[in-house]
Structure 1
Amino acid sequence: MQHSSGGRPPYPRKIAVVGGGSTYTPELIDGLARLRETLPVTEVALIDPAPERLELVGGLARRILARQGHPAAVVTTGDLQAGVEGADAVLLQLRVGGQAARQQDETWPLECGCVGQETTGAGGLAKALRTVPVVLSIAERVRRAAPDAWIIDFTNPVGIVTRALLQAGHKAVGLCNVAIGLQRKFARLLGVPPAALHLDHVGLNHLTWEFGVRLGGADGEDVLPKLLAEHGDAIADDLRLPRAVLDRLGVVPSYYLRYYYAHDQVVDELRGKPSRAAEVADMERQLLAMYSDPALDTKPGLLARRGGAFYSEAAVALASALLRGAGEVQVVNAYNHGTLPFLPDDAVIEVPAAVGTDGVRPLPVPALDPLYAGLIAHVTAYEELALEAALRGGRDRVVKALLAHPLIGQYAQADALADRLVAHNREHLAWA
Structure 2
Amino acid sequence: MKLTVVGGGSTYTPELVDGFARLRDTLPVGELVLMDPAEDRLALVGGLARRILARQGHPGRITTTTDLDEAVDGADAVLLQLRVGGQAARQQDETWPLECGCVGQETTGAGGLAKALRTVPVVLDIADRVRRTNPRAWIIDFTNPVGIVTRALLQAGHRAIGLCNVAIGLQRTFARLLDVAPTDLHLDHVGLNHLTWETAVRLGGPEGEDVLPKLLTAHGDTIATGLRLPRPLLDTLGTIPSYYLRYYYAHDEVVRDLRTKPSRAAEVADMERRLLEMYADPALDEKPDLLAKRGGAYYSEAAVDLAASLLGNTGTPYQVVNTHNNGTLPFLPDDAVIEVQAAVSAKGASPLPVRPVDPVYAGLMANVTAYEHLALEAALHGGRDRVFRALLAHPLIGQYAYAETLTDRLVAHNREHLAWA
Q: Tell me the alpha carbon deviations over residues 325-356 of structure 1, each in whole angstroms, 9 at most, x when there is no partner.
A: 17821100000000000000000000000000
Match of 1:403 in 2: 392
Q: Does 1:385 align with 2:374?
A: yes
Match of 2:198 in 1: 210
Secondary structure in 2 aligned to 1:367?
Answer: coil
Q: Does 1:423 align with 2:412?
A: yes
Alignment partners' CA distance in 1, 2:57 and 2:136: 29
Alignment partners' CA distance in 2, 1:52 and 1:96: 17
Alignment partners' CA distance in 2, 1:357 and 1:288: 36
Q: Does 1:26 align with 2:20?
A: no
Match of 1:316 in 2: 304
Please point out which of 409, 413, 432 is paired with 2:402: 413
Letter of the structure 1 residue corresponding to residue 300 of structure 2: S
Please point out which of 328, 331, 346 is paired with 1:357: 346
Letter of the structure 2 residue corresponding to residue 258 of structure 1: R
Q: Tell me the alpha carbon deviations over residues 210-249 of structure 1, each in whole angstroms, 9 at most, x when there is no partner.
A: 0000000000000000000000000000000011111111
Alignment partners' CA distance in 1, 2:260 and 2:133: 48
Letter of the structure 2 residue corresponding to residue 48 of structure 1: D
Match of 1:45 in 2: 33
Letter of the structure 1 residue corresponding to residue 52 of structure 2: I
Letter of the structure 2 residue corresponding to residue 282 of structure 1: D
Letter of the structure 1 residue corresponding to residue 304 of structure 2: V
How far residue 55 of structure 1 moved from its aligned partner, in angstroms, is 0.4
Alignment partners' CA distance in 1, 2:355 and 2:264: 35
Alignment partners' CA distance in 2, 1:408 and 1:83: 40
Match of 1:235 in 2: 223
Q: Does 1:373 align with 2:362?
A: yes
Please point out which of 322, 328, 353 is paired with 2:317: 328
Secondary structure in 1 aligned to 2:157?
Answer: coil
Please point out which of 57, 61, 74 is paired with 2:62: 74
Match of 2:155 in 1: 167
Secondary structure in 2 aligned to 1:302?
Answer: helix
How far residue 144 of structure 1 moved from its aligned partner, in angstroms, is 1.1
Letter of the structure 1 residue corresponding to residue 70 of structure 2: A
Unmatched tracts of structure 1, length 5 or more: 1-12
Letter of the structure 1 residue corresponding to residue 172 of structure 2: R
Alignment partners' CA distance in 1, 2:306 and 2:250: 33
Letter of the structure 2 residue corresponding to residue 427 of structure 1: E
Alignment partners' CA distance in 2, 1:406 and 1:418: 15
Q: Tell me the alpha carbon deviations over residues 107-159 of structure 1, each in whole angstroms, 9 at most, x when there is no partner.
A: 00011110000001000000000000000000000111221110000000000
% identity of equivalent residues: 78
Letter of the structure 2 residue corresponding to residue 304 of structure 1: A
Letter of the structure 2 residue corresponding to residue 352 of structure 1: Q
Report the number of matched residues.
Answer: 420
Please point out which of 17, 24, 27 is paired with 1:36: 24
Report which stretch shifted further, 128-137 or 320-329.
320-329
Please point out which of 35, 55, 75 is paired with 2:43: 55
Match of 2:92 in 1: 104
Unmatched tracts of structure 2, length 5 or more: none
Letter of the structure 1 residue corresponding to residue 320 of structure 2: V
How far residue 84 of structure 1 moved from its aligned partner, in angstroms, is 0.8
Alignment partners' CA distance in 1, 2:331 and 2:110: 25
Match of 1:3 in 2: none
User: What is the Cα-based RMSD across aligned positions, in Å?
Assistant: 0.6
How far residue 423 of structure 1 moved from its aligned partner, in angstroms, is 0.3
> Which structure 2 residues correspond to residues 59-208 of structure 1 after superposition, within 5 A?
59-208=47-196
Q: Does 1:246 align with 2:238?
A: no
Q: Tell me the alpha carbon deviations over residues 150-182 of structure 1, each in whole angstroms, 9 at most, x when there is no partner.
A: 000000000000000000000000000000000
Alignment partners' CA distance in 2, 1:347 and 1:41: 32
Length-normalised TM-score, structure 2: 0.99
Structure 1 consecutive aligned stretches of length 4 or more whose deviation exceeds 4 Å: none
